[in-house]
Copies of this chain bind each other. A is one copy, B any other.
Amino acid sequence: MGSQFGQLFRLSTWGESHGGGVGVVIDGCPPQIPLTESEIQIDLDRRRPGQSEVTTPRNEADQAEILSGTFEGLTLGTPIAILVRNKDHRPEAYSEMATKFRPSHADYTYQAKFGIRNWQGGGRASARETIGRVAAGAIAKKVIASHFAPTLEIVPWVESIGTLRSDIDPASVNRELIESNIVRAGDPNLIEPMIELIKATRADGNSIGGVIACVVRNVPVGLGMPVFDRLEADLAKAMLSLPATKGFEIGSGFAGTQMTGREHNDAFRMEAGRVRTLTNRSGGVQGGISNGEDLFFRVAFKPTATIMTEQDTVSSEFENTALKGRGRHDACVLPRAVPIVEAMTALVLVDHMLRQRALCGDESFQLQES
């Protein structure tokens, strides 16, 4: 209960930070799609710790092994199981957490809910859990490209860290720039300041939050279901299911609440034979269904809970005490969260593509190309 995502392209992630490993099973991947471990590894490498000087030094190669669901390089239509072993664990760094709850972490709530927790690392609440999501997302992107939307492009970037914030036009950001800088900033002018801010924050034993923005280009019209499974509802759930997230907004978002309808509405116009909108305050979704414009949304990440500073807390014996973080942690999760946001976006989209195909057939995708 709680570790599955998607209706048709359905993943089950499993694994704790310290234990046999982490992984995912994907049930519902279409057959005959070329798939190799190296393709999955590309995204896992973008997520893995120790990838740069602004991430946690925990050194995990995070090598993925495909255990099932492929044959001679093609998917079979059967469940794809992927395993990543935990290697560089150091439970001894967490011995104090065995008896003290880290403030704003999941320690206390897991203990209260289940009456038990794996106190080594973050247990199930560790960001290592997202390995399964990223692996599944890599497959989702292949399904999207091969079956539904060959030119669709998901481009998330770090929009802000702390108060360092860019107002770069989403239309101008490009994936090459983002992936070529270690903070994954979308604004070239902010790369160095962001790197410096993260380094200074870590040196101070502190942590810092930020915002990831994401644009999705060349989205088919018609994705999303009426009422509960609106595309933005499923995106919101996907993003708020990530560790450390505190907010989601699409299109005009919270700022749009200050506008009037006359200012906010996106006028329709025909353009090159397609229905287009002159503005995109809708963020690509109207009535819960994609309208063919770019999806645009933002995700808020709070500062990492684990900091190298002594803080007030309580013990598992329910006495007041204090705790200073140990272990290896990101002072800022944003750079590594970019591929995770990308994966969750792909997972939401592929699921709605399969649902749309079930309900309205392949032709409902082809019509939208004209």
Contact = CB atoms under 8 A, between A and B. Distances in A.
**Contact size range, A:** 35 or more
Contacts of A109: 221-222, 224, 285-291
Given A2-B27, A357-B361, A108 B209 contact: no
Interface in A156-171: 160, 162-163
Contacts of A192: none
Nearest to A22: B68
Given A208-B260, A246-B254, A31 B108 contact: no
Interface stretch (A13-21, A41-49, A173-181): A13-21
A60 to B, nearest CB: 16
A100 B293 CA distance: 19
Contacts of A243: 287
Contacts of A359: 1, 8, 28, 30-31, 77, 354
Given A232-B240, A320-B269, A67 B254 contact: no
Q: Which of A101, A260, A269 has the most CB of B within 10 A?
A: A260
Copies of this chain per assembly? 4
Contact of A260 (B76, B245, B275, B303): B303
Interface in A289-341: 289-292, 298, 300-307, 309, 311-314, 318-320
B25 A313 contact: no
Contact of A103 (B21, B266, B354): B266
Nearest to A309: B262
Interface string A334-360: 000000000000000000001111111
Interface in A250-301: 250-254, 256-270, 273, 275, 277-278, 281-283, 285-292, 298, 300-301
Contact of A362 (B21, B291, B361): B361
Contact of A241 (B107, B124, B201, B228): B228
5 contacts: A20-B67, A77-B360, A227-B241, A261-B305, A361-B362
